[in-house]
Structure 1
Amino acid sequence: MAVPKEVTWLRDPHTAAKHDLLKKYLDAWAPILLSRHEMATYAEGFAGPGVYKAGEPGSPVIAHGVFADALLRHPKHLRMFLMEKDARRVQELRRQMARAQARQTEHVNQRLNIHIDEGEFHPALLERLRTSGALDQPLFVLLDSYGGPDIPYSLLKDLAAHDRVEVMVTFVPGFLMRFAAKHEGRRQQGDIAFGGQDWQAVFKQPSTEKFTFLRDQYRGCLQRAGFTHTLYFEMVDEGGRRLYLIFGTKNDKGLEKMKDAMWNVDPNHGVRYRDPKDPNQQQLDLDWDPDTAALRRILRDHVIDSPEGVTIAELQRFALLETVYRPAQVIRSVRQLRDANAVATDTTRVTGKTLVLPPRDDPPTSSPAEQDGLW
């Protein structure tokens, strides 16, 4: 979206879905961390005014409500660092956060500290996090920009240097595709965001492949920065407009919880996902028990590329790290593939583990262990 000129603006379907996702993830993130640590921190680089034109809460207010509830159960400490460069929005954000605090008890307000700063988010936010010691504690950073290449690669690298930092970045390829081809300044912005010029090969890609190419380049950018686990998925609204949310972490549990949150997003927001690894690019309805045809295609291709066989545990980890699906959806998908003779399975007597193999020429048979549902 273009940078709004008014203090507040209408919330679009993308934003509603992102906020729903954020809330559901923080609902899991905060209690887990507060049960293990004395302090956790949440930060935003594009905090906005904290409210939308029709009165819906912005992400800082949503996060504050989640943290307040978590602190009632886990009396530890949380901090929020919020950056916004528009002075009018800073004023409104302070008003909204004061209202949020007024709804909470003194106990919560003593343990939930809010810091609102006016100015460009970089490098001010990083310096704020560094001097406060937040980089050495559990930290979630939301970088929900307006869609341009606003997040420097150097910032991602600085954040990823710390093991307990997670980020969620909004990436909109359309900006670079529209403006960078003919505008050197925009290309330079892209170089800063990607940490190099490899992304510029997008201009040589077929028009149908440009979005996918930039998406893969940006995911690689987060991985090069140091986020070993990245979850990226496409959001498509009713008008066909696309953006990508890129989540970066070094923690398996964080990745799993983000997927749980993703599949719980309210479908009424009019947004659906597509798994980037699915060659058919099937749109996925937001449902806790969705159509897994795309997952079956992805698993089948992965097994065919692994002629020595893949264990169920390895397929579940593959699904966790490489797809939008959850590990719990793998077992049923493998059974369906086996029943359709798209893969074969074999349980070894030595380890008791089931190997999933490329399909055999002869009809599939199940071992007693498989029939008993041990895997």
Structure 2
Amino acid sequence: MAERAPRRDPHGSVERDVLVRYLDAWTATVLRSQRGGTYVECGDFAADAFRVFGEFADRLEDHHLDVVVVGRAAPRPVPAGLGVRTVDALEDVEVSGPMLAHLSGVGSWPASLARGKAHEVVLTSPEPGEHRERLRAAGLGCVVAVDLVAEDGGTHVLAFATADSRHLATFKNELWAVDEFAGIRYRDPRDPEGTLVDISLTPQLLPLRRALLTEVARRGRSTVAELQRFTLLETIYRAEDTVGALTAAVAAGEVTRDPEKGRLTSRTVVSI
């Protein structure tokens, strides 16, 4: 009897797709800068990263882009123009310029890794924890954490942290654009209802609607622009999802708006 091929880990599939999508955007940004950048891989996706970098082969020779592989040998072949080195542990990583670090299944990591100009972190863990709080405490103020929930209930946490809200917006766009892998749904760790949401470019917005109602109640009144900022920084959703959630809340009579008619704009005021 032929042996069955091992079943792919759905958590790892989503992690890989999100990372590769964001790494493509990050590399394009780095190669437009004179400062260059460094990618730190502490996981199993160095070969995937090399494939991304290989797509920029015509630009690598004229720019400074390095890769640091932690705890294992670097894959071969290495794209021409890419600087590669290996270190034994995360504590050995020293980067002064722009950096994106991928930490997969890492129980602990040095806070110094996140303390640097233009440093960013993609972190995954099978264990729940204060990942969001720790990343913010390390100096990265724009953070999203999302639970990846499999059909059997197994959950991994995927987090991204940056000091640039524009990069957070880019990451969230990639988060919702991944293939709809069977067996994985998203959950906002801060959603008290723990609602599971299918991966989609047009996701279910009920958890966001509840979060916005709570925020408006706390503030008393808010502009749509303020609530879009809240959505970006405090939920798993994109800023542009805010209008859809608020439109449903207005239609249900859960909030009022000023002006009462017309489309919701950034200046529209929403009140309980």
Q: Deviations over 1:304-361 (max 9, x none)?
A: 1111x1111111110000001001111122122111111111149xxx9211111xxx
Counterpart-to-counterpart distance in 1, 2:41 and 2:207: 34
Are residues 29 and 269 of structure 1, via their aligned partners in 2, closer, same or farther at CA, if it must alter by over 3 Å?
farther
Are residues 37 and 356 of structure 1, via their aligned partners in 2, closer, same or farther at CA, if it must alter by over 3 Å?
farther
5+ residue gaps in structure 1?
1-8, 49-58, 102-107, 130-134, 174-210, 359-375
**What residue in structure 2 maps to residue 84 of structure 1?**
71
Aligned length: 261
Counterpart-to-counterpart distance in 2, 1:37 and 1:221: 31
**What residue in structure 2 maps to residue 37 of structure 1?**
34
Counterpart-to-counterpart distance in 1, 2:35 and 2:58: 14
Counterpart-to-counterpart distance in 1, 2:76 and 2:7: 19
Counterpart-to-counterpart distance in 2, 1:39 and 1:243: 32
Query: Which one of 262, 273, 277 corresponds to residue 175 of structure 2?
Result: 262
Give the aligned residue type for 2:32.
S
5+ residue gaps in structure 2?
1-5, 261-265
Match of 1:227, SS state, is: coil
Q: Map of 1:154-165 to 2, 5 A cutoff?
A: 155-156=110-111, 158-165=112-119
Match of 1:279, SS state, is: coil
Are residues 222 and 38 of structure 1, via their aligned partners in 2, closer, same or farther at CA, if it must alter by over 3 Å?
closer
Q: CA RMSD in A?
A: 2.2
Give the aligned residue type for 2:140.
F
TM-score, normalised via structure 2 length:
0.88
Q: Deviations over 1:257-283 (max 9, x none)?
A: 111111012112531111223222111
Q: Does 1:319 align with 2:234?
A: no
Counterpart-to-counterpart distance in 1, 2:172 and 2:210: 19
Query: Which one of 122, 146, 161 corresponds to residue 168 of structure 1?
Result: 122
Q: Does 1:138 align with 2:98?
A: yes
**What residue in structure 2 maps to residue 52 of structure 1?**
none
Give the aligned residue type for 1:136.
S
Match of 1:162, SS state, is: coil
Report the CA distance between 1:73 and its aligned residue. Answer: 5.6
TM-score, normalised via structure 1 length:
0.65
Match of 2:158, SS state, is: strand
Counterpart-to-counterpart distance in 1, 2:82 and 2:224: 43
Match of 1:304, SS state, is: helix
Give the aligned residue type for 2:76.
M
- Is the Cα contact below 8 Å between 2:188 and 2:236 reproduced in 1? yes
Give the aligned residue type for 2:171.
M
Counterpart-to-counterpart distance in 1, 2:76 and 2:270: 53
Counterpart-to-counterpart distance in 2, 1:82 and 1:70: 19
Counterpart-to-counterpart distance in 1, 2:34 and 2:253: 49
Are residues 73 and 315 of structure 1, via their aligned partners in 2, closer, same or farther at CA, if it must alter by over 3 Å?
farther
Q: Map of 1:26-65 to 2, 5 A cutoff?
A: 26-46=23-43, 48=44, 59-65=45-51
Report the CA distance between 1:234 and its aligned residue. Answer: 0.3
Match of 2:201, SS state, is: coil
- Is the Cα contact below 8 Å between 1:40 and 1:137 reproduced in 2? yes
Give every structure 1 segment of 4 or more consecutive aligned residues whose post-TM-superposition deviation is greater than 6 Å.
none
**What residue in structure 2 maps to residue 68 of structure 1?**
54
**What residue in structure 2 maps to residue 247 of structure 1?**
160
- Is the Cα contact below 8 Å between 2:176 and 2:200 reproduced in 1? yes
**What residue in structure 2 maps to residue 122 of structure 1?**
90
Q: Deviations over 1:44-70 (max 9, x none)?
A: 234x4xxxxxxxxxx111111112213
Counterpart-to-counterpart distance in 2, 1:268 and 1:218: 24
- Is the Cα contact below 8 Å between 2:66 and 2:82 reproduced in 1? yes
Match of 1:97, SS state, is: coil
**What residue in structure 2 maps to residue 300 of structure 1?**
213
Fraction of identical pairs, as percent = 30
Match of 1:321, SS state, is: helix
Match of 1:341, SS state, is: coil
